[in-house]
Structure 1
Amino acid sequence: MTSTKSKKRRKPTSSLLSRRKNVLPSSSSAITTTKAPLPSKLSRTLIRSHHTTQKRLSQAIQQNDTTAIAELTSKLSTSGGLEAYQRASVSGQSSKRGGDSSKILVDWFIELGIPKPTPRSNNGGNNSSSSNCDLSNYRLLEIGCLSPTNTIHSYFPKPQRTLMDLNSLHPDEILKQDFMEFPVPKRADDGYDIISCSLVLNYVPTPSGRGDMLKHITSFMEQALERRRKRLKSLPKNNKNNNSSTNKETGTDWTSTFPAVFLVLPAPCVTNSRYLTEDRLQEIMISMGYEMVRRKLSPKLVYYLWKFVGGGSRKKYKKSELLPGGKRNNFAIVVE
């Protein structure tokens, strides 16, 4: 008699494999050696954890708490440190998740009628007449650059851009450099017309350190203003009044946008902080000599394009409560 007892079936191997694919990396080596983009949930967790630990470490250093310093330093190291944070940031700016933030800057360049350099003007290098037609002689400094192929780079040929980061992921193309130790060039000709500071200011652990970074950026802008004046002075008289740099839709000269700073922050830094609002940020920037040219607020990020015009009251700003509330964050900028 044939047995009717059915054989016990094995679970498909594919389901087990798919579960393994969804397991999050449990070590720093798993995070830093794989080239595949990290899952979005893991990216957000790594970024938040890194910022929190950095903040606690900064507080421990100020209090000279050697035990806490050792523990927090060890925690940063075992979680992958800055390299893991950068991997998470790179995953966050992948094309599948919206692309890098400089796409917004490129959109604004298009709105302002700023043309890309042509191959001919690129070859010219220092041709003063072409500088009034496109960005061939304009220079970009990008702080905290994670990729040598960001969208804005299409406007600035390689000789006209300086890319830097604390821990360069591309040593051949991105300079390993602490911006706060990067000196203002001695010659205006070697200076920069625009500085990109995207998701960098919020990485600085202390409010006073953020103010110091804005002041250091402004030192570059002061030189850039002299660079602009020198450029205009070198133009032939018949080129000063032509319309080659005029936006036909607005009737404005796009060169007046420079020098400028592209600043990107997490939106909660100005929308949900006890100590910083957009009005206060604007007060700080105006006091340093800036005018806001463009602004975009998304659910996660806030983007600004600030034109440097010079002057300003250079007022000091302390950490003061502007919006009380238990669910707000403590992000602040102190200018001393």
Structure 2
Amino acid sequence: MPKAHLKRRKRPVTAQPKASVPLPPIHISGHAKVIINTSTLSKAPLAKLGKSSTDTRRRINRFHTLIKEYSKLASQRPQLTDPEKLKEIDLQCDSISQEMAQMGGLDWYQKASLLGQSKQRGGDSSRWLIPKLQELQLHQRTSRLRLLDVGALSCRNYAREKWIDPLPIDLNSQEPGIVQQDFLEIPLANFTSEKHKLFEKPFDVVCLSLVVNFIGDPVKRGDMLRKAAQLLAPQGYLFLVLPLACITNSRYMNDERLLDITKYLGFTQLFSHHTAKLAYYLYQLSRSPPQVSDGPAQFGKTLLHKGAKRNNFTIVV
């Protein structure tokens, strides 16, 4: 006699785990840093990293777009006096912050980016930098190389290189060894706190790997490059990594424009390399950066390439 068909008992449906959702502070030129209001979003569910590397990259790009949209809206708000216009801007900002929170906020973004630098997906950008530093014979120095890793996803990227003394920092640290610090708010003098004393001595290398493009405001991107020059020792090195599309598919940027900007800030380009997705650059600081001027920008938003499918990435200095 056949066994009676046993129905599986359905598991009770449990609510999706909740978690606080940090969202990135927004740097707006001419204004104090804008902190995105998360008071109504603090219990938003965290999203999954992505079904595939392609899906994760698509969603990371979407997160970048939302940052830029929020920056643009926030920069418009102080000039508005019409209550209806202000209300419209605030509603748009709330909608953008809600979408970022539903994606998982800054925690999701960093975890997704960390997955992207795994060996299975190509490795982290330090694998390109280290051989270049060795080619420059910097591994043979008598003192260790002080390296500031901005927007660090892992404190293990330089752990094998005993000739490097890394200081990893990030807005929202994912590991205990990463110092929580906003790069643009590193003081240049008056190092009173124990944390800020970490930045008292100049660095031999500053790494800006996939962080300049994260800033939504073009002026603040220029400020990041200038800040790197200010934190470097004489003849120090700047390592810059951008998504390739920022260079090859922008209306306002290309290799020549980036070279002119970095030259103006006191850098000499030593190496550059493009892959299918990324653009790598290594510069040496040849002279001190020029002082910040109250006049018009030396390098503004200048149209270089037309095209409906091009992006609007630019750097203003």
TM-score w.r.t. the length of structure 1 is 0.69
- 1:58-207 matches, cutoff 5 A: 58-64=71-77, 65-115=89-139, 133-134=140-141, 136-150=143-157, 152-155=158-161, 160-170=165-175, 172-184=176-188, 190-207=201-218
State which of 259, 273, 286 in structure 2 corresponds to 1:282. 259
Cα distance in structure 2, aligned partners of 1:104 and 1:38: 28
- 1:1-336 matches, cutoff 5 A: 28-31=45-48, 39-64=52-77, 65-115=89-139, 133-134=140-141, 136-150=143-157, 152-155=158-161, 160-170=165-175, 172-184=176-188, 190-221=201-232, 224-225=233-234, 258-311=235-288, 316-335=298-317
Cα distance in structure 2, aligned partners of 1:200 and 1:325: 26
Which has more strand, going by share of residues? 2
Deviation at 1:191, TM superposition (A): 1.9
**Is the Cα–Cα contact under 8 Å of residues 139 and 156 in structure 1 kept in the other structure?**
no
TM-score w.r.t. the length of structure 2 is 0.73
Deviation at 1:300, TM superposition (A): 0.3
Deviation per residue, 1:216-270 (Å, 9 max, x gap): 111112xx11xxxxxxxxxxxxxxxxxxxxxxxxxxxxxxxx4001100001111
Cα distance in structure 2, aligned partners of 1:81 and 1:73: 9
How many equivalent pairs are there? 251
**Is the Cα–Cα contact under 8 Å of residues 230 and 289 in structure 2 kept in the other structure?**
no
Cα distance in structure 2, aligned partners of 1:207 and 1:293: 24
Cα distance in structure 1, aligned partners of 2:179 and 2:270: 29
Counterpart in 1 of 2:13? none
Deviation at 1:45, TM superposition (A): 2.2
- Coordinate RMSD, CA, aligned: 2.3
Choose 258-267 or 189-198, whichever is displaced more.
189-198
User: Compared with structure 1, are the counterparts of its residues 87 and 135 closer, same or farther at alpha carbon in structure 2 (3 Å cutoff)?
Assistant: farther
Deviation at 1:325, TM superposition (A): 1.4
AA matched with 1:31: K
**Is the Cα–Cα contact under 8 Å of residues 144 and 163 in structure 2 kept in the other structure?**
no
Counterpart in 2 of 1:242? none
Deviation per residue, 1:91-114 (Å, 9 max, x gap): 110001110011000121233333
Specify the SS of the correspondent of 2:160. helix
Deviation per residue, 1:92-140 (Å, 9 max, x gap): 100011100110001212333332xxxxxxxxxxxxxxxxx42633211
User: Compared with structure 1, are the counterparts of its residues 146 and 312 closer, same or farther at alpha carbon in structure 2 (3 Å cutoff)?
Assistant: closer
Deviation per residue, 1:136-185 (Å, 9 max, x gap): 332111100001111x3433568x32110111000x20011111111136
Deviation at 1:307, TM superposition (A): 0.3
CA radius of gyration, larger in: 1
Cα distance in structure 2, aligned partners of 1:194 and 1:135: 16
Counterpart in 2 of 1:229? none
Cα distance in structure 2, aligned partners of 1:29 and 1:141: 30
Cα distance in structure 2, aligned partners of 1:311 and 1:80: 40
Cα distance in structure 1, aligned partners of 2:265 and 2:122: 32
Specify the SS of the correspondent of 2:302. coil
Cα distance in structure 1, aligned partners of 2:118 and 2:245: 22
Which has more helix, going by share of residues? 1
Deviation at 1:29, TM superposition (A): 2.8
Specify the SS of the correspondent of 1:88. helix
**Is the Cα–Cα contact under 8 Å of residues 265 and 289 in structure 2 kept in the other structure?**
yes
Cα distance in structure 2, aligned partners of 1:192 and 1:205: 26
